[in-house]
Structure 1
């Protein structure tokens, strides 16, 4: 009986974690670098798109799955013209980051995460894999906390709304 109750509680905790609907203050205050080289907080980025649906793509140029997923992201962009696409990079250097963006002709807003995996942003969202896709709705709430494929059925369904 104890095992069953423990299992149910663990499942409940995992479900609650998976359903985060807002970013922590640590994530919001984390500083990224824009493609132009300016520092900007994550909250400032979100604020600049207030009232819009935002798809966040956390990726890296060294990530095979990220590169494979890029054509699927481009398809999403074609089908969802009213969605803001934010690309947050975990590349090791800004030079590499910019080269990969140019090489794959990635369109959208691009930001570099200087502290990488150990950044307050990545830690607060429990980042354990890239690519990682998140969706923020026009009200500023997280509608999709975690998807690892751009053709994830739930991701596509949320974008249709």
Structure 2
């Protein structure tokens, strides 16, 4: 049932492949024009941007068939979970959209499937353990056979999660299913993180995702901190951006600046807005006046604004964008990647940035709170964070 998809081998260029292309071009004695090399690199990066794939989050031994698991299942990972098409329910009817903000396990199963039946106690135990922590669980039954006995199985086994029937195999097709049971785990942003897990590995994957920032534990409701439509791309925003939220902001290092260089402690105790930019982006060029206005309005409230320019960009062109007025905020040139790293700069790589412009907001305690936020929502996010207290380290009076 596998089909060619953006995550299949040979279809989507990886960061290391793009870097290899750039390195080869840069060394070529026949190419003297550095801008042509950069242009070729940017064309290659478009492939990465339009087919967003991420490194595998979990080891091969967590999956049926290990490294040889079906490419169709693997291709789901790092992308928004396809909707489930379900036409009959035992238990409370729900949907993946309704469950956004929770970690969701989808178990494709059937009453005629021996391994499926054997795994049910583990499912029940997992829901009992983490149902209050932000976990949701749905059993999706085969549409062809066995549904007539599903009600009895739910009762006899004491299944504590909703069970539904696949609608004419539509969900099986959408998820590239090839065997039962198939476990798919979806994170709080609605992104598939693992597909084709072994039953005894589902729990550890769930606990890993519950521990990620954005809800679930810690007395929260399990919902993402900000509405998904506040982000560029909505539910399809790049997973690398989402994974930075709730974590300490990486150390900011730069050697070249446009405007007054930022002092090392300038972001301490302040809400900070990072704006990843490149002069090749028309949006960066056309939206800079609006960003000047935003900076002038919010900076007096104690907000730090910092630009991060793509390290491969034409630095002179970036500088010339501002004329005598200068930049609306200091702009640092991102450092080149570490040896053998991806082609993007160090900060861009750390934050999961793959396109320009991208805006990241950091709170006064130095944690990333919103990555890839829409321009129209920046002021509202900043306002919320300004209203929060600064945490006092334990032991300080």
Distance in 1, matches of 2:84 and 2:196, equals: 21
TM-score (norm: length of structure 1): 0.72
**Larger gyration radius, structure 1 or structure 2:** 2
Higher RCO (CA-CA < 8 Å; seq separation 6+): 1
**Does 2:134 align with 1:79?**
no
* Paired residues for 1:1-161 under 5 Å: 11-12=9-10, 14=71, 17=75, 19-24=77-82, 28=83, 30-35=85-90, 45-81=95-131, 82-90=134-142, 92-115=145-168, 119-152=169-202, 155-161=205-211
Distance in 2, matches of 1:47 and 1:79, equals: 23
Tell me which moved more, 75-84 or 133-142: 75-84
Provide the aligned C-alpha RMSD in A. Answer: 2.9
- Greater percentage in strand: 1
The 3 A distance-change label for structure 1 pair 153 and 94 is closer
The 3 A distance-change label for structure 1 pair 159 and 77 is farther
What corresponds to 1:7 in structure 2?
none
What are the superposed Cα offsets for residues 70-93 of structure 1, whole Å, 9 maximum, x if unpaired?
Answer: 122222223212301111111625
Distance in 1, matches of 2:84 and 2:183, equals: 20
CA contact (8 A) 1:61 1:96 kept: yes
CA contact (8 A) 1:56 1:86 kept: yes
CA contact (8 A) 1:20 1:145 kept: no
TM-score (norm: length of structure 2): 0.32
Distance in 2, matches of 1:95 and 1:86, equals: 18
Structure 1 residue 49: Cα displacement: 1.3
- Greater percentage in helix: 1
Structure 2 stretches lacking a partner, 5+ long: 1-7, 12-70, 212-397
Distance in 1, matches of 2:210 and 2:103, equals: 11
The 3 A distance-change label for structure 1 pair 61 and 34 is same
Structure 1 residue 125: Cα displacement: 1.2
Structure 1 stretches lacking a partner, 5+ long: 1-9
The 3 A distance-change label for structure 1 pair 98 and 138 is same
Aligned length: 141
Structure 1 residue 57: Cα displacement: 1.0
Distance in 1, matches of 2:176 and 2:112, equals: 20
